[in-house]
Structure formats: C-alpha cells, structure tokens
Amino acid sequence: MIERELWHPVVASMHLRDEPVAVALLGESLVLWREPGHDGAPGVVHAWADRCPHRGAKLSLGRVLHHLHGSRLECPYHGWQFGGDAAVAPTGAACGRCVHVPAAPAFEPPASHSATVFEALERHGLVWVRLERPDLSQLPAALSQPPAFEPWSDPVWRQLIGGPYEVQTSAPRLVENFLDLSHFGFVHEGWLGARSHAQVETGRVEEGAHGLQANDCRAWQPRAYAGASGGGWVAYRYTVPHPFAAILRKDAAEGDPVSNAIALFIRPDGPEACTAWFAMATLGDLSDDEELRAFQDAVFAQDRPVVESQQPKALPIGRDGPAVEVHSPADRMSAAYRRYLLRLGVTLGVC
Ligand code: FES
Ligand SMILES: [Fe+2]
C-alpha cells in the first residue's frame, strides 16, 4: 500500500506543544508528542502508535514528563514511562522503549516493552509522519520527502497556516475539488467566480518527476485581487506533488500586485474522512493574517456541503472496474489527477 510509505501531515506544528495529541492516519490511531525545546528552538516531535504495549490503553490520555535525562511519555493506566530520544540515549536503547515501571521499580524492561514508533519531522508549519519506510527503488524520488513548497522557505513571503478542516469525504475528492476551476461561478458565486462568466481555460497538463503540473489555467473572477475595482481573468498554475496534496500559484500581474501560493495538505484519516490545512504564502497582500484565514474559512464553508454530498465518497478512478463518472473538456486537470492516482497505485479513498 503506497500510502503507508508516503509522508502525511498530521497536525499543525503550533498545535503540538506540552500535551500529547491523538490523531487518525490511514485508519491507525497515533499519539503525537513533543520534547521540550532548548534556547527558544522547539523540541523534537514523536509519532507513536496510540496503544500501550502493556494493556493496550491509549497513550494519548497520558502525560509528557520532563526529566533531567530527557522526556518521557507516561501511560495513563499504570504509569509506565516510555523514553523519547534523550531519555533512552544513555542506555543505547531505541526511542519508544519503556524506561520505568512504577509498580516494579527495580525491573529493567527489555526491548519488547516498547511503544511502536513511526518516523516524524516538521515541514511547512506542519508535523509529517510516514508509517513505513519505502522501497526507494520503487517509489518516485520526489515522494520520499514531504512535498516541496518553495515559497515556504523564502522569508520574503508571508506564511500562515489555515485549518484544520475536518471533512467527511476521501482525501482524493478534496484534492480534485481544489483543482477544479469550473465550480467557482456556482459554489463561490460573487467570491471566486460568477455564473455569467462560467467558462474556464484549463491550460496544459503535464506529468513529470515532481507530479502533475498545469500552467495557464484561467477563470474569470468578480474581484480579481484585493483592492481591484472590478472583475477580470485570473491565471493560475497548479501542481500535484503528492496524491493528497495540491499547490496553486497566482503570480502578480499587470495592475495586480499580489502573488499567492496556497498548498492544500491533507491527512487521510481513513477512506472516507480527512483533515486538511492550507499553507498560504503571500506577497504584496495588505490583508492581515486573520483576514486571510477568515477568507479561506468562508470559501471552505462554501465547498464543504457540496464536497461532503458527493457519492461515492471514494474518487472513481477506474480501479475497481469501469469509472462511473463522466467528464467535459473543462475537467482536463481532474482527469489527469485520476490517471496519476491509478498509475501510482493509490488504494485509499479511490474506487
Ligand atoms: S496499560 Fe499502559 S501502563 Fe498499563
Ligand atoms: Fe471551491
């Protein structure tokens, strides 16, 4: 299952502090926790199975303990303590090893007394996890890392995270909605489009080493940019660098001083539920962070009822037989996205 070998966002970095956090990823229950930082730098993050190896209690109901010799996660049931990196380093044991059993303090737990540990890292304001190490000879190289999102590493751009949005549909349905220009005039009438200007240009779609790319996509917008006095055609570029991520870029144009890059990053909780964030990078936009977030929240609130109404919730890509949905020439990008998922062998949230 390729999805288990990919990096997925699980929580916004700013929402993982002193307390453990429980999340679902690909149907697995995980506990996320963070060690204390040093000199103002945030501490390292951990992602473990949310199940104590002693009697199966949820570790996310426990506490993070800060010791002189490194941090530990304490199980809520019998108080067993499992070590983070520094807590186990002096013994040479691996992260996740039980280091203390309060009811039997002289007992030295063997390696079998360990939490299940997954790889975790931080990128683009989010914590990312993968459940299995991939066979690198099989996986496209670009997918062995979290998706690239250049404006996020460039300090010239203003960066912020919107979300999380918990959505009752599959991650592929949500990606396809993000790539779809032709709903603007209906779902976002007066905001991102107008019924009277519903025609779109889908541009060229190409697949390369870094996923899908579409340039020169155009839609008519009633207010083409903040401060615009009227409507106009707006050009977008899209990339799909990962089965459950998509990036939209709008560059500043004549008379339009604003450049925007918005990355949709999605945690596939299970086949029919997902959690999404927007990583936004802007240049030249005078709105403050709260206004930008409020705009995304409002736009997403318009998408949600329609996207959650789509049946089946799995995206029909023709994996289980003939595809049951039909296309028009305006759907070039979503048709390419469906072929991309089929070619990669994605199984979650598709049919
Ligand atoms: S179930 Fe975790 S310490 Fe007993
Ligand atoms: Fe939308």
Is the pLDDT confidence value at 227 over 70? no
Cα separation, 332 vs 329, whole angstroms: 6
Is the pLDDT confidence value at 229 over 70? yes
- Rounded to the nearest angstrom, the distance between the alpha carbon of 260 and the centre of ligand 2 is 16
Is the pLDDT confidence value at 286 over 90? no
* Of the candidates 233, 205, 206, the residue with the CA atom closest to the CA atom of residue 218: 233
Cα separation, 280 vs 190, whole angstroms: 22
Atom of ligand 1 nearest to the CA of 78: 3
* Of the candidates 17, 73, 70, 18, the residue with the CA atom closest to the CA atom of residue 50: 73
Q: Higher pLDDT residue, 79 or 251?
A: 79
Which ligand sits closest to the CA of 53?
Answer: 1
Q: What is the pLDDT of residues 77-109, one digit of tens each?
A: 999 999 998 889 888 899 999 999 999 999 999
Q: What is the SS3 assignment for 37-94?
A: CECCECCCEEEEECCCCCCCCCHHHCEEEEECCEEEEECCCCCCEEECHHHHHHHCCC
- Rounded to the nearest angstrom, the distance between the alpha carbon of 192 and the centre of ligand 2 is 8
- CA nearest ligand 1 atom 4, residue: 78
Is the pLDDT confidence value at 255 over 80? no
Q: Which residues line ligand 1 (CB under 6 A)?
A: 52, 54-55, 57, 75, 77-78, 80
Taking residues 201-220, what's their average pLDDT? 91
Q: How many CA atoms lie within 13 Å of 108's alpha carbon, on the beta-carbon side?
A: 3
- CA nearest ligand 1 atom 1, residue: 55
Q: What amino acid occupies position 120?
A: A
Atom of ligand 1 nearest to the CA of 76: 2
- Confidence category of residue 287, pLDDT binned at 50, 70, 90: confident
Residue 257: what pLDDT? 84
Which ligand sits closest to the CA of 100?
Answer: 1
Tokens of 224: 């083409």
Atom of ligand 1 nearest to the CA of 80: 3
Lowest mean pLDDT among 94-103, 136-145, 298-307: 136-145
Residue 153: what pLDDT? 83
Which ligand sits closest to the CA of 78?
Answer: 1
- Rounded to the nearest angstrom, the distance between the alpha carbon of 274 and the centre of ligand 1 is 30
Residue 226: what pLDDT? 61
- CA nearest ligand 1 atom 3, residue: 78
Which ligand sits closest to the CA of 60?
Answer: 1
Q: What is the pLDDT of residues 8-32, one digit of tens each?
A: 999 999 999 999 999 999 999 999 9
Residue 86: what pLDDT? 86
Nearest-10 crossing angle of helices 171-179, 332-344: 150
DSSP state of 319: T
* Average per-residue pLDDT for the chain: 93
Q: What is the pLDDT of residues 174-194, one digit of tens each?
A: 999 999 999 999 999 998 999
- Confidence category of residue 41, pLDDT binned at 50, 70, 90: confident
Probe residue for ligand 1, chosen from 50, 61, 80, 82 as the CB with the greatest number of ligand atoms within 8 Å: 80
Probe residue for ligand 1, chosen from 31, 50, 54 as the CB with the greatest number of ligand atoms within 8 Å: 54
- What percent of the chain stands above pLDDT 90? 77
Q: Can you give the pTM of this predicted structure?
A: 0.95
- Confidence category of residue 203, pLDDT binned at 50, 70, 90: confident
Is the pLDDT confidence value at 225 over 80? no
- Kindly list the structural domains of the chain, giving each domain's residue range(s) and its CATH number in brackets, ordered by start: 2-130 (2.102.10.10), 147-344 (3.90.380.10)
Is the pLDDT confidence value at 224 over 70? no
- Rounded to the nearest angstrom, the distance between the alpha carbon of 84 and the centre of ligand 2 is 41
Q: Which residue has the tokens 């204390």?
A: 36
- Confidence category of residue 55, pLDDT binned at 50, 70, 90: very high
The environment of the single-atom ion ligand 2, i.e. residues with CB closer than 5 A, is 303
Residue 62 near residue 73 (C-beta atoms within 8 A): yes
